[in-house]
Structure 1
Amino acid sequence: MIRTAILLAAGAGVRFWPYNVVRNKCAFPIANVPAIRRLSDDLAALGVTRQVVVVGAGEASIRAALRGAAAEIVFARQARPDGTAAAALLGAASIDDDLLVVAGDIVTDRANLAALRDRFERDRPLAAALVQPLGAESSLDWLIPFVDNGVLHGVEGHSRDGDRRFCGVYAFRPEALPFLRDNPALVRVGVGGMPPVDAEIVQSLQMMVDEGERVATVDAPGFHVDLDKPWHILEANARVIDAMAAALDGDRIDPTARVHDGADIRGRLILGPGAEIGNRAVVEGDLWLGAGAKALNGAIIQGRAVVGRETVLRDYCLIGAHSSLGARGIYGHGAEFSGVALDTVYCYHYCEIWGVVGMAVDFGAATVCGNLRFDDRATVWRINGRPEIPTTAANAAYFGDFCRTGVNAIIMPGRRLGAYSICGPGVILRDDLPDRAMVMVEQQVTTRPWGPERYGW
């Protein structure tokens, strides 16, 4: 059986901005667990307990995310971002067994990892790859496999055709490593395509096919999301919370947790030590409430939600379904929040936020996200200068780490605020705000004499 995996976590993640500024995107939390930690633990549960993690940009965040993991972990540093094939080869330098290679920025069902491993161990091809139907996504955005009856016949980057995409999960026999070593650093593309100079694993698979080797493919039986761009965070978070709910078999309430008789509970409760649900709180779905977290005085949780330790929901705040809130946050009177928030987010009162919020963000009172356009269309984004229309959450707002807003700030659909930025009071933010920038409104004031004489006295 495969006992070794290489986790690839060296990329800069520039398409993930603004959440790649203070961390590697593989360390971004989904349902309050870093993506790469979730992968590592799932692999360990499948018996893949030897793990080599290839790091580069944001190495410290990856090491912190994996601290205390169940697997035996070794780190290998990729000095230059030369591509996934080069990273995999670096990780495999001292390995002479079958191995898995897994992109660290994916959120995938454990069943997908098991299905690929089982097919590889049963049929013994030179290599195997996990693939997934495209659905609503465009083939122009992904590395595309051409498959016939579970066997790979070709690869094309950003193809005009194809009905599947690679998922970033592969299995290799040791004899496959020379194909990684001899990768030409140019993935095959269609006429008119312009590939970057990058050694992609999928091109090594193409080389195997060209030389008559058998490469198996496995359609992912469970959910799978690639954390490539910011809107994928919301998609991955919802998929994971639904999977967590499907695995529940009842309430799990710590003996020190408290639930008030006046609370309205309509879902299953997973309450950590010292967690509390107070009077008039409304819980309309399954709720994971971390240690010391509280839902008090009429807080409303509209559906399944994950709330981190010591976070407080109170005074008739409204938390949307499939929301994930980090640790030590405050959501207070009249605040409405739906989406993903990391640790120490303050949404004290009279806010309306839908989207993704980084660490230690402070919302001024009455900050509002305009998430619906007058034409009811999705917002066109620019990712590295290229126009794209997200398949989900195009009109959500995306707040980078350590940013803040002033009172009455309005964030227009699909806008991003960079890390360490400030959107000042009364600003209507129509364009993305760069990192380390502050935008303010200059008010024109007119002062005139006025008094009772104006009324004829």
Structure 2
Amino acid sequence: MNTAVILAAGNGRKMWPYSVTKAKPALPVAGKPVISHLIDQLTDEHVGHIIAVIRADHSSVRSILAAYKQITVVTVSSSSGTAESLEAALEHVEEENFALFYGDLYLTPKRMAEWLQACRKTKASACLLTGPYGAEMPQETIGAALGKNGRVANIVAHPRPHYVSERVIGAFLLDKEDICEGLKQQPGLMTNVPTGVMPPDEGMIEQALQHLIENGNYVKNYSIADGFVDLDKPWDIMKANHTAVCDITASLTASNVPASSTLDKTADVRGYVVMGENSHIGKYVRINGNAVIGSNTVIDHGVAIDGPAVIGDNCSITHFAKIAGNSSIGSRNRIGHCAEFSGVSFPNVSFIHYGEVFGVVGEATDIAAGVTIGMARFDDTLQVQTVAGRKEFPDQFGNAVFFGDFVRTGIMSMFMPGVKIGARSVVGSGVCVEQDVASETLLYQKQTLIEKPWGAYKYGW
């Protein structure tokens, strides 16, 4: 098996505010677009023919793929579901068996290698990559009911928990002839749903696979326990980066400081550190765990990095800034003067002069002096989120704050747990944000002032 198809033409509407400027496959995970992780891992595992299906208006993905000359890019004007995207790719598939990935899926390299090894040994019409649900609600996913002898007995969309045993992750091994037959039978929407569930008009690969199951074809699963994240909603960016940072830093077995980079003798590094070219870790910096640091990056003047971290190229982190463990800092970030950050920052973020931020900070966003984020509710319960008009109850990171791309904040602005700030918006000085802010919005407060006479006479003169 030497062929893989990556479907990257979805609309990503549940990923707002990041979907305004980026398609989901372009979202950064440990400083690299999620689709780049897929491509690089497939290349490392000797998959020589990679086909990517993208939408014509997804320039954010096309610009990433331009760096990969060996990839066949198939452009569709629009996509009404994964089935349609796969049909567009099939004419470029020459092998009998091929792997298929959704472009918003993050897998660790270990899990990718295991999956491809299993695929190369499998003789079946299809093999689904599946995983346990954990705290997730099956009603928000596509699940698989497992039968005897490793067969998949049923694929159900948005099932009630007792219908399924594992979730379908978004990676498949497919027999070309069999999946072509299944695609002919799928009716343009997912019909295998519980009674009362209302599917959209989107043709889905999972429905085509369900037809194969009903026709008696051998459809099996390969289960992994961890090391995967489907980037579907904003907090999944936090999950994917947390998973990637932990995996990348845990794999380090020694420090590597190139001759062009420097590590000051006063720095307290309690772990392995891998540095790019022309970088500098300066005086009294503390790194409490393993870290990967890019090229041309300066970390200096008492910075504290508490735990594993991945930091990009051309960054400046100085003057007693604090970076929490498991954080991912994008390229060209400027963090300084007692700023405290925990989470994920995209490229070209500025956060200088005090403040505390926990969450995802979009590209070229300016975090002003004194910006503060609330993390805990007074009732200590999970933060309720609203996504595409539906209430959600994230099991992790729902209390983070999500700044879209190109956002500007005013000094001393405050953000309550879980709020989302739309792309190209401005939040004025001193504003306390308690609900989501739409994209391209200016939000500022109207101040009431009281003016009275005052002077020396008030003191008896």
TM-score by length of 2: 0.96
Aligned counterpart, 2:185: 182
Residues 49-105 of structure 1: CA distance to partner in whole angstroms, max 9, x if unpaired? 211110016522112223333x72011112222111111111112323121110000
User: What is residue 80 of structure 1 aligned with on the other side?
Assistant: 78
Write out per-residue CA displacement over residues 184-236 of structure 1, whole angstroms, 9 at most, x where no aligned residue.
12211011111111111111111001111000100025411000001111111
AA aligned to 1:99 is: F
CA–CA distance in structure 2, aligned partners of residues 120 and 235 of structure 1: 26
Structure 1 counterpart of 2:157, which letter? Answer: G
1:182 is displaced (CA, Å) by 3.1
Give the aligned partner of residue 209 of structure 1. 213
Counterparts of residues 122-137 of structure 1 (less than 5 Å): 122-137=121-136
Alpha-carbon distance in 2 for matches of 1:371, 1:88? 41
Choose 290-299 or 116-125, whichever is displaced more. 116-125
Instruction: From 157, 164, 167, give the equivalent of 1:165.
Output: 167
Q: Deviations along 1:344-375, whole A, 9 cap, x unmatched? A: 11110111000000101111110001111111
Is 1:279 matched up with 2:283? yes
Answering whether residue 358 of structure 2 is matched by residue 359 of structure 1, we say no
Q: Show the counterpart of 2:22.
A: 23
Which of residues 328, 334, 347 is equivalent to 1:324? 328
Which residue does 1:111 correspond to in 2? Answer: 110
Question: Contact (CA 8 Å) 1:120, 1:216: kept in 2 or not?
Answer: no
Distance in structure 2 (CA, Å) of the matches to 1:377 and 1:21: 30
Q: Which residue of 2 aligns with 1:380?
A: 384
What do you get for the CA RMSD once the two structures are aligned? 1.3
Question: For 1:245-284, what aligned pairs fall within 5 Å after superposition?
Answer: 245-284=249-288
CA distance in 1, matches of 2:45, 2:118: 14
Question: Are the equivalent residues in 2 in contact too, given 1:277–1:294 (CA < 8 A)?
Answer: yes
CA gap of 1:119–1:279, structure 2 versus 1, over 3 A, is closer
1:410 equivalent in structure 2: 414
Q: In structure 2, what residue type is equivalent to 1:441?
A: Q
Count of residue pairs the alignment pairs up: 455
Q: Which residue identity does 2:72 align to in structure 1?
A: V
| Residues 333/68 of structure 1: CA separation in 2 closer, same or farther (3 Å cut) | same
2:8–2:25 Cα contact (<8 Å) kept: yes
CA 1:363–1:198 in structure 2 vs 1: closer, same or farther (change >3 Å)? same
Distance, in Å, in 2 between the alignment partners of 1:423 and 1:361 is 11
Whether the 8 Å CA contact 1:111–1:221 is kept in 2: the answer is: no
Quick check: 1:315 aligned with 2:314? no
Q: What corresponds to 1:146 in structure 2? A: 145
Superposed displacement of residue 143, structure 1:
0.4
Q: Which of residues 74, 87, 106 in structure 2 aligns to 1:89?
A: 87
- What is the identity, as a one-letter code, of the residue corresponding to 2:348? T
CA positional deviation for 1:110: 3.0
Q: Determine if contact 1:23/1:58 at 8 Å carries over to the other structure.
A: no
439, 448, 458: which one pairs with 1:435?
439
CA separation of 1:77 and 1:268: change in aligned 2, threshold 3 A:
same
Shift of the alpha carbon at 1:118?
A: 3.2
Q: What is the one-letter code of the residue matched to 2:158?
A: H
Which amino acid letter does the alignment assign opposite residue 123 of structure 1? T
For the residue of structure 2 that corresponds to 1:43, the secondary structure is helix
* CA gap 1:144/1:401 in 2 versus in 1, 3 angstroms: same
Closer, same or farther: CA 306–118 of 1 in aligned 2, 3 Å: closer
- 3-state DSSP class of the match of 1:167? strand
Paired letter, 2:185? D
* Offset at residue 254 of structure 1 (A): 1.2
Letter in 2 for 1:298: G
For residue 234 of structure 2, what is the aligned residue in structure 1? 230
Whole-Å Cα distance in 2 between the matches of residues 337 and 308 of structure 1?
15
Kept in 2, the 8 Å contact 1:253–1:270? The answer is yes
Tell me the SS of whatever aligns to 1:407: coil
2:305 paired residue number: 301
Residue type at the aligned position of 2:239? E
Match of residue 200 from structure 1: 204
Structure 2 distance, partners of 1:353, 1:84, is 37
CA distance 1:228–1:121, change in 2 (3 Å): same
Task: Give the TM-score taking structure 1 as reference length.
Answer: 0.97
Tell me, which stretches of 5 or more residues in structure 2 are unaligned? Answer: none
Q: Deviation per CA, 1:163-195, whole angstroms, max 9, x where unpaired?
A: 311011011112122212332122110111111
Give the corresponding residue for 1:33: 32
> What is the rounded CA distance, in whole Å, between the counterparts of 2:237 and 2:226 in structure 1?
17
Letter in 2 for 1:60: S
1:290 — aligned with what?
Answer: 294
